[in-house]
């Protein structure tokens, strides 16, 4: 019997790569990027593997990792896999209640934490949990609570694995590891109800890695990959494992708010991201065009027009572009497009996987027009990330690519996407009834997403559970409206209100800097942002922009009234999940007064 792939991947690759750089991370004390070779990576994994055994962690026991993206997170993951131990990642921003729930549900004895916030939360939770025995801290600058006599730093933990006393037992566990072993439990921060622990086995990751060998052929040893999304998110987790499998250099971005600085420092060839990243790039470019005048503005607009015609009208449809168009495109490729990519920090770009939400058509058209290889995809935690994805010259605007090899997809009742294959979860941890409900009698997994296939491409239409029904009996797909409106440069966040209401309304978080600039340019005086958003001129501005964008929708789908909010939606108030998805039920409660006001006659 062959041992599980993830249990032996790092030492196996080290034989081949050894002194090649496997990982990089920024040392915030010196502001330098620190390289970690494959040999150093393998040594740390071995130390973790030995130390876990030394601390008495059993085979298939659950341990937790509550941290930002750090190299240590990967050391613990792969050290655990070598020992047949299950890792449970927690979002670095998780609340005390969320951590308490997961630790209790999974009966976690050992919890690795990143920095001060995670330690403080974990220490408070430890006093409430029967199971939590030991907190192990990655960051040596974390200050322990005066009464804490038990928690240890990662360096002390590793010292338990330095003498090799447990290597024989570690080797035995690796040999006896199996594809059938549980690898992770990923708790999804659902928009409703309690978190569900999605069980992913080693077989799921092995199937996912195999499926991507053909689908993403260009990923390899020369790629420098920026890790941006949390490792807790299946998209970044599965993608990072794939990159390591291909021998890429993985550069770990610690703080999400640093991404614009980090991307210009690293100049990555690949990076997975959510559509919001590209929406902000698109909005920034539109702003530059709006500010430009004369020849410069005309040149930029023509560059976008030429790029769209070349890459979308011709190449996307398998047609050969005319010679003159090709010459124009090559000119802009060397001037406008290359400058844009350099400003962002992606001039070395190979390709950029993007998923996690709907990509507005205008954003997709823009990205492809300027020659950025954005690879749109669709996936779930339950499918070990990818269900479908595009490739460089094999894409369609509005689609989420072709289904990956080895995965079956069919369209069921209400156009629901159903899945079956090696990457699909076996179910939810300790939730047999929920698991049974998630699958058909013959083993198809219910995604809850509606869609259709056309010319081999998958298109998503809406989230079945998110369909709203107005009091007039009309069905509304809120995500479709939100995706259309959020591309506007004045709109940062939006939530559609319509369920059991007589018409559609919206809560809107504006891009405050843009509204303030508009006020300055139009000589609108105000005292603060709340006062500004209440001005009739600002309401008229948003009314005009919303109406221009929603013309394609039926009359009953269009936003009739809206409220401009002086503060963004936040995780602290429970309005967003850890993956920044809107919790509609919380918004309905937190903004009940504002919502009711929009429905006053």
pLDDT tens profile 357-399: 888 899 999 999 999 999 999 999 999 999 999 998 899 999 9
Q: Are residues 307 and 256 in the same domain?
A: no
In a domain, 571, yes or no: yes
Kindly give, in sequence order, each residue whose CB lies less than 8 Å from that of residue 148, ignoring residues fewer than 6 positions away: 123
Q: Are residues 198 and 82 in the same domain?
A: yes
pTM score, whole prediction: 0.85
pLDDT tier, 1 (very low <50, low <70, confident <90, very high otherwise): low
How many percent of the chain have pLDDT more than 90? 80
In a domain, 441, yes or no: no
Buried b (16+ CB within 10 A) or exposed e, 457-466: bbbbebbbeb
pLDDT at position 375: 96
Sign of CA dihedral 533, 537, 540, 544: negative
Give the tens place of pLDDT for each residue, 44-87: 999 999 999 999 999 999 999 999 999 999 999 999 999 999 99
Q: CA 248 → CA 261, 271, 392, distances in Å?
A: 21, 12, 19
Around Cβ 469, how many Cβ atoms within 10 Å?
Answer: 13
Residue in the block written with tokens 């192990």: 136
Q: How far is CA 209 from the centre of its chain?
A: 18
Asked whether residue 475 carries a pLDDT value surpassing 80, the answer given is no
End of a domain among 266, 286, 321? Answer: 266
Angle at CA of residue 536, ends 534 and 542, nearest 5°? 85
pLDDT at position 190: 55
Q: Are residues 175 and 308 in the same domain?
A: no
In a domain, 49, yes or no: yes
Find the radius of gyration of the CA atoms of the chain: 25
Q: Are residues 196 and 311 in the same domain?
A: no
In a domain, 421, yes or no: no
Asked whether residue 568 carries a pLDDT value surpassing 50, the answer given is yes
Q: Are residues 231 and 284 in the same domain?
A: no
Asked whether residue 461 carries a pLDDT value surpassing 60, the answer given is yes
Determine how β-strand 374-380 pairs with β-strand 385-389: antiparallel
Please give the average per-residue pLDDT across 417-439, as a whole number: 96
pLDDT tier, 150 (very low <50, low <70, confident <90, very high otherwise): very high
Q: Look up residue 327 and give its two tokens.
A: 């010459």
Q: CA 339 → CA 153, 303, 347, 373, 580, distances in Å?
A: 45, 12, 8, 16, 31
- CATH code at 562? 3.30.300.30
Between CA 397 and CA 316 the distance in angstroms is 9
Give the tens place of pLDDT for each residue, 498-525: 888 889 999 999 999 999 999 999 999 9
Task: Provide the number of structural domains found in the chain.
Answer: 3
Asked whether residue 247 carries a pLDDT value surpassing 60, the answer given is yes
pLDDT at position 191: 47
Q: Are residues 170 and 286 in the same domain?
A: no
Q: Are residues 406 and 477 in the same domain?
A: no
Q: Are residues 94 and 14 in the same domain?
A: yes
- 3 state SS for 114-182: CCHHHHHHHHHHHCCCCCCCEEEECCCCCCCCCCCCCCEEHHHHHHCCCCCCCHHHHHHHHHHCCCCCE
pLDDT at position 578: 76
End of a domain among 266, 284, 310? Answer: 266
Around Cβ 86, how many Cβ atoms within 10 Å?
Answer: 25
In a domain, 420, yes or no: no
Between CA 130 and CA 275 the distance in angstroms is 41
In a domain, 192, yes or no: yes
Query: Phi and psi dihedrals of 17, rounded to 5?
Result: -100, -35
State the chain's mean pLDDT as an integer: 93
In a domain, 98, yes or no: yes
End of a domain among 233, 266, 299? Answer: 266
Q: What's the domain range around 258?
A: 5-266
Q: Are residues 258 and 311 in the same domain?
A: no
Q: Are residues 115 and 220 in the same domain?
A: yes
pLDDT at position 571: 85
Q: Are residues 380 and 501 in the same domain?
A: no
Between CA 267 and CA 261 the distance in angstroms is 10
Give the tens place of pLDDT for each residue, 154-206: 999 999 888 788 999 999 999 999 999 999 999 986 544 567 999 999 999 99
Cβ-contact 444, 410 below 8 angstroms: yes
In a domain, 434, yes or no: no
Please give the average per-residue pLDDT across 226-243, as a whole number: 95
Q: Are residues 88 and 174 in the same domain?
A: yes
Query: Phi and psi dihedrals of 600, rounded to 5?
Result: -75, 135
């Amino acid at each position: 019997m062959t041992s599980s792939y993830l249990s032996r991947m790092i030492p196996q690759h080290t034989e081949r790569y050894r002194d090649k750089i496997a990982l990089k991370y920024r040392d915030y004390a010196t502001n330098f990027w620190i390289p970690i070779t494959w040999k150093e990576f393998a040594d740390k994994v071995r130390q973790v593997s030995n130390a876990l055994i030394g601390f008495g962690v059993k085979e298939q026991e659950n341990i937790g990792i509550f941290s930002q993206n750090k190299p240590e997170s990967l050391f613990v993951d792969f050290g655990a896999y070598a020992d047949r131990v299950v890792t449970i990642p927690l979002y670095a921003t998780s609340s005390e209640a969320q951590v308490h729930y997961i630790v209790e549900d999974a009966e976690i004895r050992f919890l690795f934490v990143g920095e001060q916030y995670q330690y403080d939360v974990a220490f408070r939770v430890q006093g409430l949990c029967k199971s939590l025995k030991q907190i192990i801290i990655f960051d040596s600058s974390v200050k322990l609570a005066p009464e804490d006599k038990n928690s240890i730093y990662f360096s002390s933990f590793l010292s338990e694995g330095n003498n090799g006393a447990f290597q024989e037992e570690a080797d035995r566990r690796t040999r006896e590891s199996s594809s059938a072993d549980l690898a992770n439990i990923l708790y999804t921060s659902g928009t409703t109800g309690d978190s569900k622990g999605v069980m992913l086995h080693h077989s799921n990751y092995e199937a996912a890695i195999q499926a991507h060998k053909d689908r993403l052929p260009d990923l390899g040893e020369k790629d420098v990959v920026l890790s941006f999304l949390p490792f807790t998110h299946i998209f970044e987790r599965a993608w990072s494992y794939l990159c390591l499998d291909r021998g890429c250099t993985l550069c770990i971005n610690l703080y999400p708010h640093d991404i614009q600085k980090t991307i210009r420092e690293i100049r990555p060839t690949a990076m997975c991201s959510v559509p919001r990243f590209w929406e902000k790039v698109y909005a920034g470019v539109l702003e530059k065009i709006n500010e430009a005048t004369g020849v410069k503005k005309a040149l930029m607009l023509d560059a976008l027009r030429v790029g769209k015609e070349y890459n979308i009208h011709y190449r996307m449809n398998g047609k050969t572009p005319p010679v003159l168009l090709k010459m124009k495109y090559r000119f802009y490729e060397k001037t406008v497009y290359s400058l844009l990519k350099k400003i962002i920090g992606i001039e070395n770009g190979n390709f950029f996987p993007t998923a996690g939400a709907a990509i507005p058509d205008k954003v997709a058209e823009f990205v492809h027009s300027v020659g950025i290889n954005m690879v749109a995809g669709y996936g779930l935690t339950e499918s070990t990330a990818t269900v479908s994805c595009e490739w460089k010259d094999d894409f369609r605007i509005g689609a989420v690519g072709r289904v990956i090899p080895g995965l079956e997809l069919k369209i069921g009742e209400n156009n629901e996407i159903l899945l079956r294959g090696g990457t699909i979860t076996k179910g939810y941890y300790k939730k047999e009834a929920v698991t049974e409900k998630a699958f058909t009698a013959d083993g198809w997994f219910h995604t809850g997403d509606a869609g259709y296939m056309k010319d081999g491409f998958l298109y998503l239409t809406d989230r079945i559970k998110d369909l709203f029904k107005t009091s007039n009996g009309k069905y509304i797909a809120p995500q479709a409206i939100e995706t259309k409106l959020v591309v506007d440069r004045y709109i940062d966040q939006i939530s559609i209100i319509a369920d059991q209401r007589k018409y559609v309304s919206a809560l809107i978080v504006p891009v405050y800097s843009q509204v303030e600039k508009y006020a300055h340019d139009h000589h609108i005086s105000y005292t603060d942002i709340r006062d500004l958003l209440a001005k009739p001129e600002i309401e008229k501005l948003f009314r005009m922009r919303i109406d221009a964008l929603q013309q394609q929708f039926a009359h009953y789908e269009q936003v009739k009234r809206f409220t401009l909010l002086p503060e963004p939606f936040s995780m602290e108030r429970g309005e967003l999940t850890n993956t920044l998805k809107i919790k509609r039920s919380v918004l309905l409660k937190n903004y009940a007064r504002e919502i009711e006001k929009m429905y006053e006659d």
